[in-house]
Amino acid sequence: MHPWWYRSEFDLSENEAAQYASLDFDGINYRADIWLNGRKIAGEETVFGAFRRFSFEVSDVIKPGRNVLAVKVFPPLPGDFSIGYVDWNPAPPDGNMGIFRPVALRLHSGVSIENPFVQSKVNLETLNEATLTVSAELANATDQPVEGVLQGKIEAVEFEQAVTLAPHSRQRVVFAPANHSCLNIKAPRLWWPIHLGEPDLYDLDLQFKIGETISDVAQTRFGIREVGDYWLNEIHRGYKVNGRKVMIKGAGWTDDLFLMDTDEGIEAQVKYAKHMNLNCIRLEGFWGKDHTLYDLCDEHGILLMVGWSCHWEHELHLGVPVDERFGGVYTPGHIEHISRAWEDQVVWLRNHPSIFVWTVASDKVPIAALEQKYIDTFAEYDPTRPYLNSTGGVGSEQHVIGSEDVISDISGSSGVKMLGPYAYTAPIYWFTDNQLGGAYGFNTETGPGAQVPPLDSLKKMIPVDQLWPMGEAWDYHCGKHEFADLSRFKAAMNARYGEPSGLEEFDLKAQAMNYELMRPMFEAFRVNKKRATGVVQWMLNAAWPKMYWQLYDYYLMPNGAFYGARKACRPLNLVYHYGDNQVYFVNDHLHAVENLQARIRIYDIQSNLLFEELKTVDAAPDSAASILKLPELENLTMAYFLDLRLMDAEGGEVGTNFYWLSTQEETLDYEADLGEFAYHTPSKTYAD
């Protein structure tokens, strides 16, 4: 593949050209030669790596009038640690080569302010006090020593510190609460994820003054909050925000296949996540064309898991042999490169309160030398968050978790699991499975498989003459390998709903299945709060028009699973337990609820009322408890309905949950031979 050229012209006034300047690149994939006004300022021997950030001093290169920037970008080669897609869409034909994040010319008067950072510590007992530690790096671009004052402001709080900088030096300046009592904050507005409080934000404004001259200014937004992890039953990892446990209800993000996301599209998707009552988005990869995604998650109270993709961990995707245990990063040179890329990303993103954990590996674990560099980076640049050595793991209800493949030499077990399923999964599985992906521990990626788009989207994806019957055109938009068609989805549909006679009937039944299969996954984890800490649906969105793993499609059209997730994740919810035939009340709020009413009704297939009971419901904070064991009714039809309605003390409706069920039990086949990759647990018999 040939290199690509980028060229941009910009004008500078006499005053602007007389200032000091740096040229900053936040993301180039993969190598580049860079020229400014005909002078080569950097080459591909030093400018390489999709997740490196580069800054070049160009004070003596810029000029008044027209300036010309030219960048020659070279594509990633096999073995390069590039932007990673795996089995959820085809590889981009161009390997996503190019400039994919902002380029900026920064002007200042000799001393620049770089990498501002705010660390917050919260009084976790009272939540009524917090301390802030503010830092920034000052860089003196002149050949003279400089004396000045770094001044900071956070709303009404102001602070400053005198600084002396040697020529061409860099110095980190720290404002600590021990020396600046104003950084001891009373009654702080804390940042909370959705349903637990408001995602309040603050602005930090900094300026460096040399005498009466302002040399540079900087601003960053942050939230006052404290995040941490904990161990449930000494074996399963969970997470806390401001000292309160948070059940993670998330889904996995991907950027557009050609990195063409818009601000408007990203905003719509974050609002979708909030509308679905999800509190987390997992980024398998440092996604984002800029800070837009992260800013929006800050604003809407959506937590973010951020870290590397498994793209680099498998030869199939990286294009070169990998270490079976550690993936593709294991040589000294690669370790140095990736550790520096990690440092760049952490410094770039660390002020976002939505990021609650760094994930330094996906399916595998980092080799010890690399993990130690990560640990050193956290100590130096971000001691405010936990890190996860791998989102992979294996587990069982018998408290066995980990294997030699996902145990770190430094930090031990990940405490999470990645055991699927990824294909059709019966609702009962999530409530009863205690060996694989069921509702215990933290399942970092999983889901019931295909989520077929609604009819209008199918008509955009597939030529009209190939829409029905289903064939190769449909398979083209499926996944890879085990996920290359919809055979499991169709078999379940035919058995559970009856074989469709045409496209419209197929899609109607597909949307019903999407809803029915997604809802119990989230509900099971919520019901099992005493042994579950979180679940991430694989996936949230779509990088291209596809059939698998999405709550809404490439055209941003929700499918039935979108509404199944929304229903399942309501903070106050009545839930049917497919395993024990009981109705549970779940409260995700941090406060107790009292004097609610639960109306439980059962109807036969003709909508004849067979059973009704009204229960008074009280619930402790962050709790789940059974409120009724459903009776055995002799006159049930094979298909029947369960209607759950939650009301306040005055009879006003708080929420509903409606199930279609079957007297024919769906049984799971744990003995099925699925080869090395047990990507789902098939059904021996289907519900009807």
Determine if residue 643 is left, alpha or beta; phi over 0 gives left, psi from -120 to 50 gives alpha, anything else beta. beta
Distance CA 471, CA 488 (A): 15
Tokens of 516: 């029915």
Q: Which of 313, 363, 485, 516 is catalytic?
A: 363
Amino acid, single-letter form, for residue 373: K
136 close to 172: Cβ distance less than 8 angstroms: yes
Q: Which of 256, 298, 445, 588 is catalytic?
A: 445
Amino acid, single-letter form, for residue 112: S
* Biggest CA pair distance of the chain: 92
* Residue-wise DSSP of 285-329: S---SSSHHHHHHHHHT-EEEEE--GGGG-HHHHSS--BTTTBT-
In this structure, the strands spanning 280-284 and 303-307 are: parallel
3-state secondary structure of 152: strand
Distance CA 149, CA 598 (A): 63
Rg over alpha carbons for the chain, rounded to the nearest Å, is: 27
Amino acid, single-letter form, for residue 11: D
Whether 205 is a known active-site residue: answer no
Determine if residue 110 is left, alpha or beta; phi over 0 gives left, psi from -120 to 50 gives alpha, anything else beta. left
Torsion of CA 179, 183, 186, 192, to 10 degrees: -140
Only one residue has tokens 């039809």, namely 637
Q: How many other C-beta atoms can be found within 10 angstroms of the C-beta atom of residue 638?
A: 12
CA-angle at 79, arms to 75 and 82, nearest 5°: 50
Determine the straight-line distance between the first and last CA of the chain, rounded to whole angstroms. 53
546 close to 557: Cβ distance less than 8 angstroms: no
Burial of 37 (0-12, 13-18, 19+ CB in 10 A): middle
90 close to 110: Cβ distance less than 8 angstroms: no
DSSP state at residue 536? E
Q: Residue 328 contacts by C-beta under 8 Å, 6 or more apart in sequence?
A: 79, 81, 312, 313, 315, 318, 320, 322, 334
Only one residue has tokens 């083209």, namely 476
Distance CA 54, CA 27 (A): 8
335 close to 313: Cβ distance less than 8 angstroms: no
CA 214 to chain centroid, in Å, comes to 39
Alpha helices in 60-205 (DSSP H): none
Whether 129 is a known active-site residue: answer no
- Please identify every residue annotated as catalytic: 363, 445
